Structure 1
Amino acid sequence: MKLKDFDKIFSANPTLQRLCRWTKATDGRHIALQGLRASAQSVAIAEMLRHTDKNILLVADDGDGAGYAYFDIVQLLGNERVAFFPAFYKHNHKCGATIAENEILRTDSLNKISGKNPCIIVSYPEALVEKVVAASYFVGSKIELRKGQSYDMNSLVGQLQKAGFEEVDFVYEVGQYSQRGSIVDIFSYSNELPYRVDFFGDNIESIRMFDIERQLSVSSVDSIDIVANTDGGDLPKISLLEFMSSDSVVVVNDIDFTVKRMDYIYEQALIKANEHKHIDDLSSTLADGETFAEELGKHRTVELLRNYYKADTMEFSTTHQPNFDKNFDLISQNISNYIAEGYRIFISADSRKQTDRIKSIFDDRGDNIAFEAVEGGLHEGFVDNDLKICFFTDHQIFNRLHKYSLRSDTARRGKAAMLIKELNQLKPGDYVVHHDHGIGQFAGLLRADINGKPQEVIKLVYKGGDIIFVNISSLHKIAKYHGKDDTQPTLSKLGTGAWERLKERTKAKVKDIARDLIKLYALRLEQKGFEYSPDSYLQAELEASFVYEDTPDQSKATADVKTDMQSPKPMDRLVCGDVGFGKTEVAIRAAFKAATDGKQVAVLVPTTILAFQHYKTFAERLKNYPVTVEYLSRAKSPKQTKEIISRLR
């Protein structure tokens, strides 16, 4: 079952249906909800949007609460109709550093609010304190482009310059644009990837999004909105509630807390502004709690925790998912009790593999637990006593950390795009390698006239003074030269075929090495190894209890290692990964699998300190399982070493 299918089941809740009728109607300014707990709140708010043509603003108590609510609603509705409105400043207005990637999220929110389709904006007090540009200016400053549209390219460039976009050789951060012949690359403040607009004369022939690191197109779109930076500058500002139309619905977890929190943030900013002599413009850029309360009174409101307006209430009957703390005796007893009372049990996870693990644990234990697997998770599970359904999440069952991600995560990579960064660090005279032409010297970025059109190119100089110009759309063919002991390489000679012959010789040597390796592995395959048993319920429980979500690479590495172990052939596998990428967890799972099959496991590490660190990690992960973990190093006394070795026999 998909998460959206469960959403349809929960939509049958009679109080939720009443709430949706209120949302669709125009009478009744304020209501309060009672008994709506955990992620049932997010499911209800998503359902509200399906019954209205108005925008909805959801205000959580803090950034994390907003982040998890945003995650839930995106899981239910997708990205197109949901936006996250964060704070632009890290700490204090003017005095604190800004968070550049949040510009994208804030501008995306304003863009969705001013769009044609109703949406949900998720925010929190720290973000609502910061005012935004007036709606009339925001809409008027947008540049709308669509495929097939007649548009003068020079006029577009002029508009971008006027809007404050920076002209660069190649785009890799928001607020930048570049022009190469008939192509204009633009990184709008409202999208996580930059756009590539291709003109044919005065017509827009195509619009594509492209990858920041490789500068290559990834998908085509029919229309886009180019939005400039609206958080900076001296433009007149208004609160987010003023930006939204008065018929929007505002859902607040706790109105009184939000008002007081905004007042506190404003007061702290006032103190800082007084110290830094910025007090004059504070009210023009920040909104206090009183301003928020005044604007809130003009909107229809739904309060989740209290009843600020002493309004009519709607009663739900939901409770939080019980805290099982990985105790399957408690889980089994609890779920069995619910089943006996006629409840339907739903267990959700981001992958089917995880719910299969839970099922195998129940089966191996002999528990007669029937549940419906839901693909796609929410942050917090809940029980709805009206519909008699339990929606449990796998990460809460195993007490595992659950994280949310935001749309700007992709754009954040642009600030560390290695290809662009490396190219920026190149100096004239540095050696580079071109895939087709060999080793040359970097001679700078130039603007050349190609077929009557100016384009940015990279100039490379080869042996004998030969020169080639590389269009930046072919950046993926160039890499900085890295040689042994910083020795200077010999420049390649163009037109001689020497580079191609060198590549062919290299390929031949690689084939020789591969041939030798094949012979070696053929001999290894003839050897007989120990064939480990398939995963037990203990193995499934251990893996499911990992406090973080497995990355795709981590899942694949674990599966590959266990497949090798269950084969009668000797395992010969290398697991590679950077620091912090989860290699130790893969080793723990493999070691545990061996131990549960009656084997003893030795983990070899290069240093004494690392031995102790791994000992603590293994001991912590395996403390609830029937295995013993010890370590040997020179830090142990001879007596301790002898005692540990004696226990191995």
Structure 2
Amino acid sequence: KGVTFKSLGLLIIDEEQKFGVKAKEQLRKLQVNVDTLTLSATPIPRTLQFSLMGARDLSNINTPPRNRQPVTTRLIRWSQETIADAIGYELARHGQVFFIHNRIESIHGVAGQIEECVPGIRIAIAHGRLTPSETEQILLDFAERKYDLLLATTIIENGIDMPNVNTILINSAHRYGLSDLHQLRGRVGRGSQRAYCYLITPPLGTLTEAAARRVKAIESFSDLGSGMRIALQDLDIRGAGNILGTEQSGFIADLGFETYRKVFEEAVREVKQEDFATLFAAQTEQQAELGNALTDTTIDTDLDLSLPHEYIPQDSERILLYRELDELESDRELKDFADRLRDRFGALPPQTRGLLMVPRLRRLASHLGIVKVSLRREQMILFLPPSGSAYYQSKAFDILLKSVASYGKACEVRETREGHRSVKWHHVTTVYQADKILSSLYKALFARPDK
């Protein structure tokens, strides 16, 4: 707190997953609006959510160091034979071993069990209750190969780079978070040799669902550059926490990301219309006259609209492109996006050309007050707001009715007993046909009187 800067221009937070919200906010208070770069192999769920929503920029470094190999990861049970084989194999190729046990009170007992498995092994023990000088000496002795195995708590999780250590065993791996497991696994395989990570767990059937998913995920995603996939799994398992507040993971897992985002956007609209009604009065009046409040329209389709794996192989890259596409707000932005895809990946596949029409369809339908657009079974159905809505006294609804009349038998209005209304167009087999219909409605809605 006593540190001051004359002119702070850039704040870099390394190993960001180790910092709490309060600590990061305290750092940012060093100067208002300071540019911030956070580094992490596995971003915490809330940080990743901010990036996926576009609130923060996200950049992936996927190129591994030269000659680096992925770490082979295996789930094992506590067995003297299995542990002896894993340690014995590493010692046979003149390597060293990390053994992680995160309970200081029982760490010496574990050391005795390891000595029973591998008689004559030289074991060093390191944990957080040792003095800094003691810990330093133990690590120096281990680096000089005075010991074969370092039995430690998670204090070695960051900053340890020992290329001669290429086997790590993690006891009670089900008790660790995904980020912790990924960081610990990263302590081995620092050189050109094949490395091994053994996750010691009870039978998966005895674990909680979340714990089982964590250890399965860390076993599955062992390729180089898999930190993003692991972080996405962590986001799915733990939830994304709060937009405002200190919770960095949490209840979003119960709602689902899309539902949470929709509720959040609705809350922002309510604040605009109620607490800041005067400030946004002109915008609200214009939207009411046209019959829409920029409806949060969803698109539902059985058409093949996607960025194919064959076109963009990397999962993380496709996720970022889907996110970027979802945020485009004009035809010009869509054209620029398509040009960048062609420049980077080549000619657009048919399903990608169709996908690029989706943001435009959603934007047109949103301005028209359409709640949902369904493109299924060669039909387009426009789902309208519930009965009693101001939409039915709007210009947008009048134009929709005139369009229905002009299409004749190709179009029909439907209403359920519950009062849900929709308009169905027959023989709409592509997004381009849907775009043509919605574009004509949009042009009629926003046409000038003299036209």
Normalised TM-score (structure 1): 0.19
The higher radius of gyration belongs to: 1
Tell me which protein shows more helix as a share of its residues: 2
Higher strand share: 1
